[in-house]
Amino acid sequence: MNVLFCLTPKEKVAYIYDDYTIRQALEKMQTYRYNSIPILDRKGAYVGTLSEGDLLWYIKDHQLNFEMTESTSVTKVPRNKDNVSVPIYTNMEDIVDVATKQNFVPVLDDFGAFIGIITRKDIFNYMVKQMNNGKPTLTQERDKTASV
């Protein structure tokens, strides 16, 4: 199955731009309760992933106070690792290994533009559904009923 069937589209994903300040990144991560967040450039290309750990180590190492975070760009923060991205035509079976090492998998279109993410939860739900011969789990049924 193609990743598009489990994709959370860009419009529903919180992300930051590479010209944001550390404070803007912290505020967005706090608002959405993310421990890592995709970074995009202003053209929509995926740049990388910024984590809470990346921010905390940078703030500690540079002894930044809150005011300093308002003028320091996220591009100055070294990232421990960027989430591996996949192209739009990738099959779900092909990203299972990737998802074991990161919370979400960024999905890119044919031009390298960020179009959304596949969460680890989406992948697990897909795998369980496959093991149940296409039948949804009780949790999925409950979620479906609750949203109607």
* Distances in whole angstroms, Cα of residue 97 to Cα of each of 16, 18, 49, 92, 131: 26, 28, 18, 10, 17
Residue 25 pLDDT exceeds 70? yes
**Are 76 and 68 in contact, with CB atoms under 8 Å apart?**
no
pLDDT of residue 65 exceeding 80: yes
Structure tokens at 136: 């949804």
Q: Check: pTM over 0.85? Answer yes or no.
A: no
Separation of CA 101 from chain center: 13
Q: State the pairing for strand pair 104-108/86-87.
A: parallel
- How far apart CA 140 and CA 71 sit, in angstroms, is 44
The average pLDDT across 133-137 equals: 65
What domains, with CATH codes, occur in the chain? 3-119 (3.10.580.10)
Residue 96: predicted pLDDT: 85
Band (1; pLDDT cuts 50, 70, 90):
confident
The distance in angstroms from the start CA to the end CA of the chain is 25
pLDDT classification of 31: cutoffs 50, 70, 90: very high
Asked whether the predicted pLDDT for residue 134 surpasses 90, the reply is no
